[in-house]
Chains A and B, each alone.
Chain A
Amino acid sequence: MDLRDSFRNATRAIFAAKMRSFLTMLGIIIGIAAVVMLMAVGSGAKQSILSRMQSSGSGNLYLTAGARSNVLMGGGGLGGGNREGASAGAKITAEDLTYIEARVTYPIVVSPTNQTNITIKNGDTTMSGTGIFATPTYFEVESVTIADGRMISDGDVDNRTRNVVIGNTVQTTLFPNESAVGQPIRINGTSYKVVGVAAAKGESLGNSVDTAIVLPFSVGEKSFGVVHNVIQRTTIKCVDPTQSSAVTTEITDILTRKHKKVDFTIQDVAALTDMVTSAMTILTALLAAIGGLSLLVGGIGIMNIMLVSVTERTREIGIRKALGARERDILVQFLIESSLLSIAGGVLGIVVSVLGSDFIVSRFTTTEITGSSILLAVGFSIAVGVFFGVYPARTAARMKPVDALRYE
């Protein structure tokens, strides 16, 4: 029997009992939708965490004062400002950075920053934000691009010029109708000149640049009481991100030798990313397995209906055998039927899950339907159809023609 005939027979049988076929499929629809949607939630969560990490720069290391045993513990988020547990008197200075730069054998870009909370004012409009004191390398290592104007220059840093770059939210809040570039702005009561506006970046680990103002590093000490020679946070970008762990080891060595103790912390975004990736992958697999349980129930539903169908069609099986159908022909006929039911259920399940995750689940949490979860769903539904179809199909195939024909 050729495959086209088999498919025609199978679709005919499925359409002959529409309601029953649909109810049988429903089990698979629910199972597949559960698998795909739960995986979408899992990988959506993973994606959103990873994109925050990535936007803080892949291959970036964060050097802060104070030893900490576990990178995941302690306050302040990744590289965020002062932390509990910082050893008393421990600090990173500009001299430390020069010392490191002179000795590191890998290509790196170093960006020292200090930050403090500020009040920003234009005319009558006031907002609070973060003042980030930085050098030009800040823009490179934090992947902050300029939407308008220019960034902080070496000259601004050397001359303590009161030129600033403002974040996107600052621009839209304080200068809703015009470009801020060239305009004066008051920060904690002192007048500065806006020379650039940073492109919107969204949330990232640490503080977002959107609600911040980037000031020349050297301005901090005088006007804001930030101690110039003490650097709160240094971002070290590895030019080749794959070297991040080697660079971490080397800088730890260099600085430990200089300080004679480990009174600082280096956080490696790549290492954290790996950890989060594997944790989230496990979580996603776990969610998929929970969805898989309902798929199993759907599969048992298919088996049940196929058994009923084999019994009902005993006489048909006998007739086909009397006309020359081999065991294989009957087996294939019923297997195709159960697989078609299951695949159709799988495809509908994918449609349901795409709609469901786009219109419903995505209101509560990030979802991402990946190609691999769809492939998995299709693969699973074929496997379920075949696996749960085998027993009923074999029962049909092995009937003796005369017994099947005598069946009333």
Chain B
Amino acid sequence: MNLIEFSDIRKVYTIGSITIDALAGVSFGIGEHEFVAIMGPSGSGKSTLMHILGCLDTPTSGAYRLEDHDVSKLRSNDLARIRNRDIGFVFQSYNLLSQLSALENVLLPCTYSTHAMSGRNERARARELLERIGLKDRMSNRPVEMSGGEQQRVAIARALMMDPPVILADEPTGNLNSKGAREIIDIMKELHAGGKTIIYVTHDDTIGAQAERVIRIQDGRVVADDRN
């Protein structure tokens, strides 16, 4: 059974009298431990797709199954729990809280966890994650004091904090130079080797080529689904 099952997912935006089919019936399945790149031109619906995958948004119609949850039927508290425990989301613009240090940002998901670790274990884990991605010396720095690549690595550590099986990354390298981008992709590969299911969005072909599977979308539809 697939970890993720999308059946005929549609997302329609209505602005005044115009309707936009951001997703016009998308279906696919993604298995456990897959490493998938989603590619497509700007405005093709990639972010909309990722937001629905990440339970940040709900589809207009269609069915979404994640593990054994029928996500379209869940209430807001259950969705919050999935976002907290089952999915780590990495954004193009990092989305760190500017008033918090790197360490505090990484610890943030714990505050919303229903099964709490002890405060000391949490901190130990957060430190370990930051160390693993090479930010040992930046733990007490605030986001403004860090480069884009460093901020994105903090965001990845934060996504990993609750040890979710799935990591979703929406153009994680979009704001980074090629060196920064390479570092992020290397971390993604490492996480994949460690057993995580990774889905990331990019429009860089060389970065896309590193995935096991590439799903291409255009105008809200899947136009290709290739395994490398």
Contact = CB atoms under 8 A, between A and B. Distances in A.
Interface of A: 1-2, 5, 12-13, 16, 315-316, 318-329, 400-402, 405
A5 B111 contact: yes
Contacts of B83: 321-324, 401
**Closest 4 pairs between A and B when the two form their complex, measured CB to CB:** A324-B84, A324-B112, A402-B57, A326-B80
Nearest to A333: B111
B112 A322 contact: no
Given A324-B162, A326-B77, A329-B112, 14 more contacts: A12-B99, A319-B95, A319-B96, A321-B83, A322-B83, A323-B158, A324-B83, A324-B113, A326-B81, A328-B77, A329-B111, A400-B57, A401-B83, A402-B56
Nearest to B116: A2
Contact of A320 (B81, B108, B162): B108
Nearest to B113: A324
A12 B101 CA distance: 13
B126 to A, nearest CB: 13
B80 to A, nearest CB: 4
A2 B83 CA distance: 18
13 contacts: A16-B99, A319-B96, A319-B97, A320-B108, A321-B83, A322-B83, A322-B95, A324-B80, A327-B77, A328-B77, A401-B83, A402-B56, A405-B91
Given A319-B95, A400-B57, A324 B85 contact: yes
Contacts of A329: 111-112
Contacts of B112: 1, 320, 323-326, 329
Nearest to A327: B76
Contacts of B85: 324
A320 B57 CA distance: 15
User: What is the interface of chain A mostly: helix, strand, loop, or mixed?
Assistant: helix
Contacts of B81: 324, 326
Nearest to B79: A401
B208 interface: no
Contacts of A316: 97
Contacts of B116: 2
A322 B89 contact: yes
B125 interface: no
B26 to A, nearest CB: 17
Interface in B108-144: 108-109, 111-113, 116
B189 interface: no
Given A1-B111, A400-B57, A402-B51, A321 B99 contact: no
Nearest to A324: B84
A318 B89 CA distance: 12
B99 A323 contact: no
Interface string B43-66: 000000001001011000000000
Contacts of B99: 12-13, 16
B135 to A, nearest CB: 19
A315 B85 CA distance: 21
Contacts of B95: 315, 318-319, 322, 405
A322 B56 contact: yes
